[in-house]
Chains A and B, each alone.
Chain A
Amino acid sequence: MNTSGAQLWLDKIHQLPELAAPFNLLNVCGGHERSITHAGLRGVLPKGLNLIPGPGCPVCVCPEADIALAIAIAMQANVVLLAFGDLLRVPINRTNPCKLLPKSVKSLSQAKAAGADIQPIASPLEAKKIAAQQPNKTVVFFAAGFETTMAPVAALLTEFFSHSLPRNLLFLISGRKTWPAVRKLLADAESAPIHGLIAPGHVATVMGAHEWQFIPDEFKIPSAIAGFESESLLRAFHSILQQQISHKPQLENCYPQAVKTHGNLHAQTLLDRCFKVTSSQWRGIGSINNSGFTLVPALAELDAHNHYADISLAIHEAYSQNTMPKNCKCAEVVMAKGLPNQCPLYGTSCSPRQPLGPCMVSDEGACRIWWSAGHE
């Protein structure tokens, strides 16, 4: 961390006029929430500046049906299922009488311990390597994530067009776009009043700063794009407070070394080539228009939904309710209708050891971040 830079921005924030009323500042990136919490920024910022975590964790919003389908496919003979790490631990509801899954298997991690060949991976490139190494197995890559994750998945998918993908590699896509959920949140009267917004640095790196221009334009609130160091975050907080003071909401790019106005055009081209944007389920929240990535028809033969059509249908029927665990407030936390420690399960029956809700599972989930850092 560049301490002197961070301290400089912190000093500048404290030199601003005192806040006349509580100011709710939303962040929409799990990485931001981690950085804020790990640096202890809430303890050094002016009183009344409330940093609120939002929908910034792809694991937290991945629907039950997608995870249940991944488990069911993984339990088929001769299948290797690959998934990004945190997804392995997300529990799903098993009171549901779906005969495709053993009743006691409630997560990919439990399916793995029960014998399914499930491997956590960190990069889409590993999927290609593993599929090439095991040509006699069907390798299914369960790819969940936001734009930042789906762009490298798209880079791998385009190898299909040059015939360089292993023929035994399939994709179970569960990708989502971030801004439609943020727009829904800001338009929702039940969410906390949001007075300013920190836009996600990684997503903006791919999609461009301009994708977040709707915040000041449509909702007339201050906003800034921030990186993940304390210095960048504090600079963004300062910008937002200054916009508030001057009554001139805009979008300031406080992460210019990585974020350009139009983003990474190559990555966007890959996304457009491989995915169509459709309505998508968000766990506990419901369907959001134009928020999901699904494979384009030209890639249909790579789609695990097609290869396992019967299983896919049965699982989606069984998990059509897309429920949260009883009394779990993860969906409310994601949509800024409550803070992690306002959930009755937080730190009692739901903890990192035995997470009940998805926000306690992922390192990008607000509940886990708060509990691990000592928020009670």
Chain B
Amino acid sequence: MSKRITLAHGNGGLLMRELVEECFARKLANTHLNTDLDAAQLNLAGNQWAMTTDGFTVQPLFFPGGNIGSLAIHGTANDLAVSGARARYLSLNAFIEEGLPFSELDNIISAMASAANEAKISIVTGDTKVVPRGHGGGIYFATTGIGEKLPEFQLHPNRLQAGDKVIISGPIGNHGIAVMMAREDFGLHSEIQSDSANVWPLVAALRQLKNPNAVKLLRDPTRGGLNMVVHDWSHFSKLGIELCEHSLPIQPEVNTVCNILGYDPLSLACEGRIVAAVESSIAEDLIARWRNQPLGQEAAVIGELTNAHQQVVINTTIGGQRLLSPLEDEPLPRIC
């Protein structure tokens, strides 16, 4: 039997990175395609634009804090935002499974419209396919977005340097846990809400920094979570990263559910957070500006890039140290 695709090839971890680089990027290579970035950088008619595309297959379709419709808008807008671009236009492909109740579809599209209006994004073209029952999870979306690039930012992995600070805009793990709880698989109940949101206001706030160019790189920690963002940065820059466990914003309820089920909050998806790598000189200024934003009130400096090694290391609260290994397999709940 030849090697086959497994779910782990889509979890945002190492296997997915290898799949994208070795299967897609190698064969489809061109001057604009760069898998290190969340969006392509395009010069169209003399203006700078960013373009990105994304797919949404979340189960269940509705979860505390959002649904697949609002998520599709936030996810695409956020990929552009962390590329330093304000999302303007989106295309939308809907793959609807036979049997989906119209009432659910209405709720999903209403949430999508609200999210798009709030972010001032226009959905300008689309396509609809209906697939036979059993061939889809109710509804899947594929979106493509283009956004205007802001001239203030030169975001690129090759600018990362030892001494740069790693900053997160808010608590991690909420979206991953909210979706898991919504599946009702565990017999657990929680009030945890997804953090699904448009992070553009956080990026816009960075324009007010005294030196916006000191922002080196931004990422939204979706699949693979914060874990894969820092591993990608370490991989691209050939630098190490030291995280401080004590500084990681994690809500106690998220921690509790993770402890019970054996999940690592660092590897769970967020849908309304930004991780930033910045020159240390602006870290304090950035934190102050983010904490003035509704989405950034728990922003924190969580680590630093180092040339002492090329790994991701966590300095633990009790004074120990451990390596953070990149996500490989699909995260699964513990057996015991």
Contact = CB atoms under 8 A, between A and B. Distances in A.
Interface of A: 1, 3, 6-7, 10, 29-31, 34, 37-44, 56-59, 84-89, 102, 104-105, 109-110, 112-114, 120-123, 125-126, 144-146, 148-149, 202, 228, 230, 352-353, 362-364, 371-374
B319 A44 contact: yes
Given A10-B318, A352-B328, A373-B325, A114 B186 contact: no
Contacts of B311: 374
B317 A3 contact: yes
A362 B332 CA distance: 10
Nearest to B262: A363
A146 B336 contact: yes
A365 B243 CA distance: 25
Contacts of A144: 335
Nearest to A7: B318
Interface string B3-33: 0111000000010000000000000000000
A105 B335 contact: no
Contacts of B185: 121-123, 125-126
A200 to B, nearest CB: 9
A148 B6 CA distance: 29
| Chain B binding surface, main DSSP class | loop
Contacts of B246: 3
Given A31-B334, A364-B335, A40 B4 contact: no
Given A1-B317, A363-B262, 8 more contacts: A37-B322, A38-B316, A39-B317, A85-B330, A88-B332, A230-B317, A373-B323, A374-B322
B329 interface: yes
Interface in B126-175: none
Interface string B285-320: 000000000000000000000000001011011111
B323 A372 contact: yes
Contacts of B332: 84-86, 88, 120, 122, 363
A62 to B, nearest CB: 10
Contacts of A39: 316-318, 320, 322
6 contacts: A38-B316, A57-B336, A87-B335, A125-B185, A228-B259, A371-B325
B261 interface: yes
Nearest to A121: B185
Contacts of B325: 352, 371-374
B317 A102 contact: no
A372 B332 CA distance: 16
A58 B1 contact: no
B4 A113 contact: yes
Residue in A43, A113, A122, A373 whose Cβ sees the most chain B Cβ within 10 Å = A122
B187 interface: yes
A86 B261 CA distance: 12
B335 A123 contact: no
Nearest to A88: B332
A289 to B, nearest CB: 22
B35 to A, nearest CB: 20
Contacts of B329: 89, 352
Nearest to A113: B4
A50 B308 CA distance: 28
Given A110-B1, A364-B336, A374 B318 contact: no
Contacts of B333: 84-85, 122
A207 B334 CA distance: 20
A40 B320 contact: yes
Given A104-B1, A122-B186, A43 B336 contact: no
A84 B318 contact: no
A364 B14 CA distance: 21
Contacts of B262: 31, 34, 363-364
Nearest to A1: B317
Nearest to A112: B6
A6 B317 contact: yes
A149 B336 contact: yes
Contacts of B34: none
A122 B261 CA distance: 8
